[in-house]
């Protein structure tokens, strides 16, 4: 039997019929289904381009193959669960996808924030080694330290906005699949199952004429 839930929300189905149009992308310009399909398509396209670049890189010379392979495999797993969520509409796949996305976004924000704090502390602190590394970095670049910090802060803000957009989009699509499955389970309650079994028994053992 296919797995339906990674965890059951433990709530009742919505009172109104589940309508796909009511679950929107975080910007509201399209449905969550349309936005999620575009998001998964982008992931799969990025994975395909990444594998092509990796193969071409192997043909032209040595590369950091291990780290690149791990990144591409994770991207493929990411896309696989998203594709399965779209095709099967089972909450299990979107729940796993949501977990992966939360970990990925959390790690990205955490590492970016740590890097920004490291740069800031190196510029303002007493660590000779850190200051030498920063000085060596700016030696070959025309940007000043203040411009670099401002640019880094802007990039960090952009990454945060993108991550929030991704989480809101996936969460909206998850809400749609969750409510849809709860509605199905409500319609397939004990009485519905008894009626189904009765119909099956009637077809297998029809009454005598």
What are the residue ranges spanned by the domains of the chain? Answer: 29-178
> Is 49's pLDDT higher than 60?
yes
Specify the higher pLDDT residue, 16 or 209: 16
Q: How confident is the model at residue 81 (pLDDT cuts 50, 70, 90)?
A: very high
User: In this predicted structure, what is the pLDDT of residue 176?
Assistant: 94
Its pTM stands at 0.75
Q: How high does pLDDT run on average in the chain?
A: 80
Instruction: Summarize the confidence of residues 173-199 as an average pLDDT.
Output: 73
> Is 19's pLDDT higher than 60?
yes
Q: How confident is the model at residue 172 (pLDDT cuts 50, 70, 90)?
A: very high
User: In this predicted structure, what is the pLDDT of residue 28?
Assistant: 75
Specify the higher pLDDT residue, 23 or 64: 23
> Is 140's pLDDT higher than 60?
no
What string of DSSP letters covers the chain? -----SS----PPPSSPP-GGGSB-TTSSSBHHHHHHHHHHHHHHHHHHHHHHHHHHHHHS---HHHHHHHHHHHHHHHHHHHHHHHH--HHHHHHHHHHHHHHHHHHHHHHHHHHHHHHHHHHS--HHHHHHHHHHHHT-SS-HHHHHHHHHHHHHHHHHHHHHHHHHHHHHHHHHHHHHHHHHHHTSHHHHHHHHHHHHHHHSPPP-
């Amino acid at each position: 039997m296919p797995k339906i839930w990674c965890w059951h929300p433990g709530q009742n189905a919505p009172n109104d019929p589940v309508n796909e149009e009511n679950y929107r992308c975080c910007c509201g310009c399209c449905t969550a289904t349309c936005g999620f399909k575009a998001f998964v398509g982008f992931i799969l396209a990025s994975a395909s381009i990444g594998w092509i670049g990796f193969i071409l890189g192997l043909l032209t010379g040595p590369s950091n193959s291990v780290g690149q392979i791990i990144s591409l495999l994770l991207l493929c797993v990411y896309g696989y669960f998203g594709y399965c969520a779209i095709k099967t509409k089972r909450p299990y796949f979107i729940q796993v996808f949501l977990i992966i996305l939360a970990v990925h976004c959390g790690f990205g924000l955490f590492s970016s924030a740590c890097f920004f704090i490291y740069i800031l502390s190196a510029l303002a602190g007493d660590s000779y080694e850190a200051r030498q590394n920063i000085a060596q970095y700016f030696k070959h670049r025309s940007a000043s330290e203040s411009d670099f910090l401002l640019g880094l802060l802007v990039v960090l803000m952009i990454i945060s906005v993108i991550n929030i957009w991704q989480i809101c989009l996936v969460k909206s699509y998850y809400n749609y699949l969750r409510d849809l499955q709860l509605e199905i389970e409500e319609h397939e309650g004990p009485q519905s199952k008894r009626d189904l079994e009765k119909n099956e028994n009637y077809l297998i053992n029809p009454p005598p004429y």
